[in-house]
Structure formats: C-alpha cells, structure tokens
Amino acid sequence: MDDIKKAAELILNSKKTFALTGAGISTESGIADFRSSTGYYSKMDPAMALSKDVLLGNPKRFYKEGYLILTDLNEKEPNKGHLALAKLEEIGKLNGIITQNIDNLHTKAGSKNVYEVHGETRGIHCMGCGKEYPFKVMKNKVEKGEIPPKCDECGGVLRPNVVMFGDMMPDAFQKALAELYSTELLIVVGSSLTVSPVNFLPDYAEKLIIINNDPTPQDRKAEVVFNRSSGEVLSQILHEVEKQL
C-alpha cells in the first residue's frame, strides 16, 4: 500500500481525527514561514516585532514592524491544502483543526471547528473595556496617524487578537488540548513541532500522520510521513478518502 492510501485508510478507520497546522500549510498562499531564511523574522527580531511590551511601550516600533505582518496576512487566500482539510471536515472525516497560524485561512477555506491557539487577525479588542472591533478599524485609525489606536468607547489602547511574546496562551489552547485527550489520529501539517507548548500536542494522540517539508522530532512515532508539498499531499489524500466512501 502506498503512503497516500495508507493515510486515507487511517482517516477512514479513525473514530476521531484532528489536524494540527503550522506555517508550512500557508506557504503556498504566499506567506513565508516566520522562521525561514526569507520569512518575516529574517528582517526583524520576533521578540520585538510582535511583543506586548513593544506594543505598549514603543507603539511606533510595533506599527512599523509587527503590525505590517498582520496587515499582510489579511490579504492572503487559502490554498488547496486548506480547502482539502475543510472538505474532510464537511464529509465527516475530520473533527476539527488546531492551528498555530494567525492568517485566518482555515476559516476562509470554510473550516468550522478551528482552534486558533496563537490568535487571529480578523479582529481587535480594547485592553481597557474589552470591546471588540473588526481589524479594519485598527487599519483605518493607523492610516490616519492614530498610534496607538484608541477605543471609541473608553479611550483604552486597541490591540490585535493575536498571541504576542509576553502573552499567556488563550482559552483556545486549553480547549484544543482537551479535544486531543480523546483523539485517535492527528494529522500534523506544515509544523516543525519545535515551538512550545504546541510541540507537545502530538503526544496526546494515539496515531500521527505528518506532512512537512523537513523532518520533525515526532517522525519516528508517525504511521506515515510526507516530506513534500502539503497542498498536493492533502489533495491526494482527500481524493483517496472520497473514492472509498
């Protein structure tokens, strides 16, 4: 049995399947891996670009560096890897997605049950009163020179709904972890599995499928490993699953 058929069989026979996705699934949408030689952090210090301390203490720097990453992500569209995962959920063969990505591409692709453990760039909120706004409100205020942008209700500082350096992990992480206690199969897509605490999540699943361009620390535990394009692999797996339904 070839690896595509083996992966499809694992999905078809699994009682509960989740996907765990990282930056690698989004490279085909034109988003460079954050830590690659051509990624966002090759030109800036990640601990400063998306840092809560910089957001509050040096907002001009934040809106010159980290904010540009967030606005760039908002322009991207899902690729065939995102669409394949959404389809697997639609046909009842994927229970949900846990993603490290803040690019919104899983929700744009139509996935419904998505745990965004590093946050998202669809919205912002006031650090004073908690009022929520769409991301375009921040964009409009920044374009008008309002740095940092302030809440219309209480005058508090607005911030993106992303997990920055210095932030606690959001509730989505604990909810994702709870899902994995009963997950039989985890499909890891585009993650190096080196960023804590997400890199510990595969330990909670009984079986693993890993799709990543480079080797990961969990490869030895996986039922099958693909070191090639996630969009291509996921599309082929979906086709095989649909053939056998």
The tens digit of pLDDT for each residue in 132-174 reads: 999 999 999 999 999 999 999 999 999 999 999 889 999 999 9
Catalytic pick among 82, 106, 118, 239: 118
pLDDT at 40 over 80: no
Q: Predicted confidence band at 74 (pLDDT cuts at 50, 70, 90)? A: confident
Q: Predicted confidence band at 66 (pLDDT cuts at 50, 70, 90)? A: confident
Q: pTM (2 decimals)? A: 0.93
Q: Predicted confidence band at 75 (pLDDT cuts at 50, 70, 90)? A: confident
pLDDT at 187 over 80: yes
154 is known to lie in a ligand binding site: yes
Q: Write out the two tokens for 137.
A: 């409100």
Mean pLDDT of the 104-118 span: 97
3-state helix, strand, coil in the chain (%, to 5): 45, 20, 40
Q: Is pLDDT larger for residue 94 or for residue 74?
A: 94
Q: Is pLDDT larger for residue 34 or for residue 234?
A: 234
Whether 239 is catalytic is no
In the prediction, which pLDDT does 160 show? 96
In the chain, the amino acid numbered 60 is K
Q: Predicted confidence band at 86 (pLDDT cuts at 50, 70, 90)? A: very high
The tens digit of pLDDT for each residue in 192-232 reads: 999 889 999 999 999 999 999 999 999 999 999 999 999 99
Query: Tokens 């595969």 appear where?
Result: 202
In the prediction, which pLDDT does 72 show? 85
Q: Among candidates 156, 219, 206, which has minimal Cα distance to 15?
A: 206
168 is known to lie in a ligand binding site: no
In the prediction, which pLDDT does 38 show? 55
Q: Predicted confidence band at 65 (pLDDT cuts at 50, 70, 90)? A: confident
DSSP SS3 for 4: helix
Question: For 117-159, what is the HEC assignment?
Answer: CCEEEEEEEECCCCCEEEHHHHHHHHHCCCCCCECCCCCCEEE
Q: Which of 29-38, 52-61, 113-122, 185-194 has the lowest mean pLDDT?
A: 29-38
135 is known to lie in a ligand binding site: no
Question: Which domains, ranges and CATH numbers included, belong to the chain?
Answer: 1-31+78-118+168-245 (3.40.50.1220), 33-75+121-162 (3.30.1600.10)
82 is known to lie in a ligand binding site: no
Q: Among candidates 78, 132, 71, 125, which has minimal Cα distance to 106?
A: 78
